[in-house]
Chains A and B, each alone.
Chain A
Amino acid sequence: MKQFIAAFVLSAFFIFAAIYGLILAVDPYNKFGYNVFGFETKAVSFARENKYNQVEHAKQKYTAFIMGTSSAHRYYTKDLNRLTGLVSYNYSTQSATPEDYIAMTRHIFTKYKPKLIMISFGFEDLNKFTVTDDMFYSSPLKKHLQEVPAEELERSLFNNSYLTLGAIADSLNVIWVNLFGKARHAYLEHGDHIVEPTDKTLMLSQAGYSEYEIDPKRIEYLKTLKKICDENGTKVVVLTTPLSLEHLNLIRHNPKIAAQFEKYKMTLVEIFGELWDFQHDGIAPYSTLEYFRDSIHPNHHLSTLVLEDIFGTAGPKIGKLIKK
């Protein structure tokens, strides 16, 4: 019996050390900057760690930043550079919320003096029932969210992004890709995103909207963000990220959610003065696989059209500018 307990404790200890050691050595999210095995790429799922480090250590003096959720991954920085004459970085991350945007803004101003910040908003971003992504709390961005006391941001001793099943899977993925596959650079230089192969059908996301309420805390974060930018003479351009027509219909199917949908846009107009709206029926001709990866993620093609609408000289074709 004693042997059983001893074997349990020892095996647990060594297996834990081996797994955690492997994760640290692979460092899949570039948390510590280790690369023991000299891997060409880190096939990560989460952008926050990587992009934070890229912004922190970049040699370029970026003058424009793109923020948003995964739906903003496909704005090419070269397109924004071409259209604005600025040097841009795409700071968008999966499941971003205004907590990310304010923290990113503060982080950016510690290093750069940007002339432009573009934020691509999703409907869920302002929803009180959309919780802050766990990965935000385990990323260095959290230290820039001064509104929340440090102890509330702290997770338990072991709760960091490397003590997860996801970290094990990602580490194995990194090893697999580097040893047997083709290096897949998820995030390229300047925060750009790789071009992924598309599905053969436009999949309507099963994500519905059962509960929605605009979060007053997030409104305050955005007001602060605007204030910081105004004080530094930085222009803020905000837009609603394109949604396919079928997804728009899904939102408008429920009258309560539809009312919140309008309120969310008006709230953004109220805070930022103007809003480029891409979430309207005018998206109908673009609701195909030529322009969308799925119903909520525009592909590179549509993302480029969005940038041209806002910053180009030909005038908008899809977007509608709503002013206060």
Chain B
Amino acid sequence: MLPRSLQRIVLTLVTTLSLAFASAAHAAENVTEFFLDNGMQVVVIEDHRSPAVVHMVWYRAGAADEPHGASGVAHFLEHLMFKGTDELESGEFSRIVEANGGSDNAFTSWDYTGYIQRVAADRLDLLMEMEADRMRDLRFADEEVVTERSVILEERSERVDSSAGGLFNEQMRATLFHNHPYGIPIIGWRHEMEELDRAALIAFYDAHYWPNNAVLIVAGDVTPDEVRSLAEEHYGPIPANPDVTARARPQEPPQIAERRVIYEDERVANPYVARTYLAPAREPGDQRRAAALTMLAEILGGSGQTSVLARQLQVEGERALYSAAFYDSTSYDPSSFNLVNVPVPGVTLEEAEADLDRTIADFLENGIDPAQFERIKFQIEAAQIYEEDNVQGLARSYGVALTSGLTVEDVDAWPDVLAAVTVDEVMAEARRLFTETSSVTGYLVQPAPESAAEEVTQ
């Protein structure tokens, strides 16, 4: 592999592969779960090696919960959360966190919106006071809404419109998900973002930002008793909203036609072919299929030298610069399984697609190398050790799971479920996945050279 991995080429498609194994490390020992009277779920992860604490509030609301036509409002609201409340001036939240030596940030996905701060453990009280304040008391000043809308439009320009891969990825998702809002970009479609206003923000805020729709995760140098007492003091007084119910988004109809996306962009340096399939995600109490698919992605594309795609396409065939398989196991509704092949110069995308198909067909025919299977199982075991070193990552994996319909028990069981997956289960999932028609095949290409285009018109 390379110092600067070629993953950069398809960065917008690749969800971090290391997340594939994201799980819980010896969870039972240092993870505690409880609920406040108002329904707020609380998870405490103890790690006393360093006197720091990570404080996160996750809302079970993301881009896939937006009203139709208001794409981007979940993320827009995330930005507004740093503006004024009835207690805090605009920007004061971050100023106080920084003045206490902390860092803070936030993130929005389709299934969740999260707010995170990292500070010395003795500042937890202050953080909770401020986070509880902005759960219900945001002010939404008009001039701030207008200025911040410019900022998110600039963010869209930077993250998506400035990147051929970003635009391609957006088109791929929109094609994979016909009916489910997972097909709508988190940042929003520009024409809808331009129309977002104060009323749209307040409507989303009032529908979703309630303690019974939130998960509090505190990880680091704290005890569950300390967290319970602080959480009861700060979050406890906020009333639950009985109107908050489980999410029910429009689901995909049977997908009976294969679909294709061809996106041309003059900024493309390395054309590639991508294929994405609808795939089941981890279900509460039933994670076997997702575990098998996680293993499948690792077997097919988890390593630049030893995985099936890399071996056949990059090393032996020398027909690919880069290849990958990745799968998003943790998602409220069914997610996607993805393949990518970046061919070497001289190999067309049609040929690259045929290479991909042939490799998958050979895999279905020949099955899994038992030695590779054992190596991956050992790596999953070791991942639990390495993950203990990264308490923030651990906290995040709980946050993603608990806002994707899973329980703490599911998170705790995940490593064991992965460890129990058999070769037969993986092959069964592979056959099911690759014989279905619910896939999208996409080409990201340079436009045809101008001289050729002129010849055609002449």
Q: Do A and B bind each other?
A: no
Q: Which residues of A are interface residues toward B (Cβ below 8 A)?
A: none
